[in-house]
Amino acid sequence: MSRETPGLCGKETELRSIMRGAIVAGIVAAVLTPAAAQAAPARAAVGLLGTYGFGRAAVIGQSGMEAGIFRAYAVRSGFAGDDLLVSYQTRTAPLEEETVVYTAAFNQVADPQSECRKVGADGVARKAWASFRCRTGFVPSYTLLVR
Protein backbone atom coordinates (compact mmCIF):
# COMPACT_ATOMS: atom_id res chain seq x y z
CA MET A 1 0.00 0.00 0.00
CA SER A 2 1.26 3.40 -0.97
CA ARG A 3 0.90 6.39 1.38
CA GLU A 4 1.33 9.10 -1.29
CA THR A 5 -1.20 11.86 -1.38
CA PRO A 6 -2.61 12.44 -4.85
CA GLY A 7 -1.31 15.67 -6.45
CA LEU A 8 1.63 16.07 -4.02
CA CYS A 9 4.17 14.68 -6.49
CA GLY A 10 3.66 17.59 -8.89
CA LYS A 11 4.02 20.16 -6.09
CA GLU A 12 7.20 18.48 -4.80
CA THR A 13 8.75 18.63 -8.25
CA GLU A 14 7.77 22.27 -8.61
CA LEU A 15 9.20 23.06 -5.15
CA ARG A 16 12.46 21.29 -5.96
CA SER A 17 12.71 23.21 -9.21
CA ILE A 18 12.18 26.52 -7.39
CA MET A 19 14.74 25.57 -4.73
CA ARG A 20 17.32 24.61 -7.36
CA GLY A 21 16.75 27.93 -9.11
CA ALA A 22 17.17 29.86 -5.85
CA ILE A 23 20.35 27.97 -4.98
CA VAL A 24 21.84 28.53 -8.44
CA ALA A 25 20.92 32.23 -8.30
CA GLY A 26 22.56 32.52 -4.86
CA ILE A 27 25.75 30.83 -6.05
CA VAL A 28 25.94 33.03 -9.14
CA ALA A 29 25.44 36.16 -7.03
CA ALA A 30 28.08 35.05 -4.52
CA VAL A 31 30.59 34.36 -7.27
CA LEU A 32 29.96 37.45 -9.38
CA THR A 33 29.56 40.09 -6.68
CA PRO A 34 33.14 39.96 -5.33
CA ALA A 35 34.50 39.90 -8.89
CA ALA A 36 32.55 43.04 -9.77
CA ALA A 37 33.71 44.75 -6.59
CA GLN A 38 37.35 43.86 -7.26
CA ALA A 39 37.12 45.01 -10.86
CA ALA A 40 36.14 48.52 -9.79
CA PRO A 41 39.40 50.43 -9.31
CA ALA A 42 39.87 52.80 -6.39
CA ARG A 43 39.33 56.41 -7.30
CA ALA A 44 42.33 58.51 -8.24
CA ALA A 45 42.58 61.94 -6.66
CA VAL A 46 44.64 65.04 -7.29
CA GLY A 47 44.78 67.94 -4.91
CA LEU A 48 46.43 69.86 -2.13
CA LEU A 49 47.75 67.60 0.62
CA GLY A 50 48.80 70.53 2.79
CA THR A 51 51.10 73.50 3.32
CA TYR A 52 54.46 72.79 4.91
CA GLY A 53 57.68 74.63 5.69
CA PHE A 54 59.70 76.09 2.83
CA GLY A 55 61.59 73.25 1.13
CA ARG A 56 59.74 70.54 3.09
CA ALA A 57 56.91 69.95 0.60
CA ALA A 58 59.39 68.78 -2.05
CA VAL A 59 61.05 66.38 0.41
CA ILE A 60 57.68 64.94 1.50
CA GLY A 61 56.41 64.68 -2.10
CA GLN A 62 59.54 62.95 -3.38
CA SER A 63 59.59 60.54 -0.43
CA GLY A 64 55.89 59.77 -0.93
CA MET A 65 56.54 58.93 -4.58
CA GLU A 66 59.47 56.69 -3.69
CA ALA A 67 57.26 54.92 -1.13
CA GLY A 68 54.59 54.34 -3.79
CA ILE A 69 51.95 56.43 -2.00
CA PHE A 70 51.87 59.34 -4.48
CA ARG A 71 51.77 58.97 -8.25
CA ALA A 72 53.04 62.50 -8.83
CA TYR A 73 53.57 65.69 -6.90
CA ALA A 74 54.12 69.40 -7.45
CA VAL A 75 55.17 72.19 -5.13
CA ARG A 76 53.70 75.68 -5.18
CA SER A 77 55.46 78.28 -3.04
CA GLY A 78 53.34 80.73 -1.10
CA PHE A 79 53.66 83.24 1.71
CA ALA A 80 53.16 80.75 4.57
CA GLY A 81 55.21 77.89 3.12
CA ASP A 82 55.12 75.42 0.25
CA ASP A 83 51.88 73.81 -0.88
CA LEU A 84 52.21 70.13 -1.70
CA LEU A 85 49.93 69.07 -4.55
CA VAL A 86 49.75 65.31 -5.03
CA SER A 87 48.15 62.66 -7.21
CA TYR A 88 47.28 59.46 -5.33
CA GLN A 89 44.91 56.50 -5.10
CA THR A 90 42.21 57.16 -2.49
CA ARG A 91 42.21 54.75 0.43
CA THR A 92 39.13 53.76 2.34
CA ALA A 93 40.72 50.67 3.90
CA PRO A 94 44.16 50.46 5.48
CA LEU A 95 47.10 49.00 3.59
CA GLU A 96 48.10 45.50 4.70
CA GLU A 97 51.49 46.69 5.92
CA GLU A 98 52.76 49.97 7.26
CA THR A 99 54.64 51.99 4.67
CA VAL A 100 57.33 54.51 5.53
CA VAL A 101 56.62 57.80 3.80
CA TYR A 102 59.51 59.91 5.11
CA THR A 103 61.69 60.74 8.08
CA ALA A 104 62.24 64.26 9.41
CA ALA A 105 65.20 65.00 11.67
CA PHE A 106 65.69 67.94 14.01
CA ASN A 107 68.40 69.39 11.75
CA GLN A 108 66.00 69.41 8.77
CA VAL A 109 62.93 70.96 10.36
CA ALA A 110 62.35 72.98 13.54
CA ASP A 111 59.68 70.64 14.97
CA PRO A 112 59.80 67.20 13.28
CA GLN A 113 57.12 65.71 15.55
CA SER A 114 54.64 68.46 14.71
CA GLU A 115 55.37 68.18 10.99
CA CYS A 116 54.95 64.39 11.08
CA ARG A 117 51.59 64.70 12.82
CA LYS A 118 50.41 67.38 10.40
CA VAL A 119 51.39 65.44 7.27
CA GLY A 120 49.84 62.26 8.71
CA ALA A 121 46.57 63.98 9.59
CA ASP A 122 46.43 65.75 6.21
CA GLY A 123 46.82 62.41 4.43
CA VAL A 124 44.02 60.80 6.47
CA ALA A 125 41.72 63.79 5.87
CA ARG A 126 42.27 63.56 2.10
CA LYS A 127 42.17 59.73 2.06
CA ALA A 128 45.72 59.33 0.79
CA TRP A 129 46.06 56.74 3.58
CA ALA A 130 43.65 55.32 6.13
CA SER A 131 45.76 55.79 9.27
CA PHE A 132 49.22 56.91 10.36
CA ARG A 133 51.66 56.95 13.22
CA CYS A 134 54.80 58.90 13.90
CA ARG A 135 57.68 56.81 15.17
CA THR A 136 60.39 58.61 17.05
CA GLY A 137 64.00 57.77 16.35
CA PHE A 138 67.36 58.73 17.74
CA VAL A 139 68.54 62.36 17.66
CA PRO A 140 64.93 63.59 17.66
CA SER A 141 63.71 62.39 14.30
CA TYR A 142 60.21 61.30 13.37
CA THR A 143 59.26 58.77 10.73
CA LEU A 144 55.79 58.88 9.19
CA LEU A 145 54.34 55.39 8.77
CA VAL A 146 50.99 55.00 7.01
CA ARG A 147 48.44 52.26 6.36
Same domain, 32 and 67: no
Residue type, 22: A
The sign of the CA dihedral 118, 96, 136, 138 is negative
Closest CA to 60 of 96, 97, 94, 109: 109
Q: What is the pLDDT of residue 19?
A: 54
Same domain, 60 and 93: yes
Same domain, 15 and 81: no
Domain count, the chain: 2
Q: Does the pLDDT at position 2 exceed 60? A: no
Q: What is the pLDDT of residue 119?
A: 97
Residues 99/67, Cβ–Cβ less than 8 Å: yes
Query: Which pLDDT tens digit goes with each residue over 94-106?
Result: 989 999 999 998 8
Q: Minimum mean pLDDT among 9-13, 81-85, 89-93: which range?
A: 9-13
Same domain, 125 and 63: yes
Q: Does the pLDDT at position 71 exceed 50? A: yes
Q: Is residue 2 part of a domain?
A: no
Domain of residue 33: give its range: 7-40
* C-beta atoms surrounding 19 within 10 Å: 10
